[in-house]
Amino acid sequence: MNKFERIFLYTVLAILVFYVFLVDNNAESQVAIQEEIRTRSILIVNDEGREVVMLCSNEAGHGGIVIFNKESTVATNMMATEDGGMVSIANKAGKLVAIMGVDENDNGEIRVYNKNRKVIGSLP
């Protein structure tokens, strides 16, 4: 390779490198914002790899958010239902202690349970 060919080759390579890293809009250093992400569920885990938050759909196809405690036991569940929406809260053992939702007559209702799953209060 003669001197002229080397100078030409190195110049072309330098221009390509300059273009890829400083000019091109597809460079990795730029932030990419997605308009939409489509997936069946999203699972967030803690440092130990245990589930802490899940965005999902239930068997009927309604969307929901499930929040777990550090032992991966369900603590809170927000879910769309056939009647509307529902929020449930569990104690640290994972036993249901409160539900807020919509009844079959389209009225709001709240139920509070004791640790033995007996209703101890409700509205209406």
Structure token pair of residue 107: 């009225």
Q: Which residues does residue 54 pair with via DSSP β-bridges, in sequence order?
A: 43, 66
Residues 50 and 111 in one domain: yes
Residues 48 and 91 in one domain: yes
Residues 28 and 52 in one domain: no
Residues 91 and 119 in one domain: yes
What is the DSSP track for 43-103? EEE-TTS-EEEEEEE-TTS-EEEEEE-TTS-EEEEEEE-SSSEEEEEE-TTS-EEEEEEE-
Residues 64 and 104 in one domain: yes
3-state SS, one letter per residue, for 28-42: CCCCCCCCCCCCCCE
Domain containing residue 88: 42-123
Residues 116 and 82 in one domain: yes
Residues 28 and 49 in one domain: no
Residues 16 and 66 in one domain: no
Domain count, the chain: 2
Q: Where residue 68 sits, what CATH number does that domain have?
A: 3.90.930.1
Residues 59 and 107 in one domain: yes
Residues 14 and 47 in one domain: no
Tell me the pLDDT of the chain (124 aa) as tens digits: 576 666 666 676 667 666 666 655 554 555 677 788 888 899 999 889 999 999 998 888 899 999 999 888 999 999 998 889 999 999 988 899 999 999 888 899 999 999 888 999 998 8
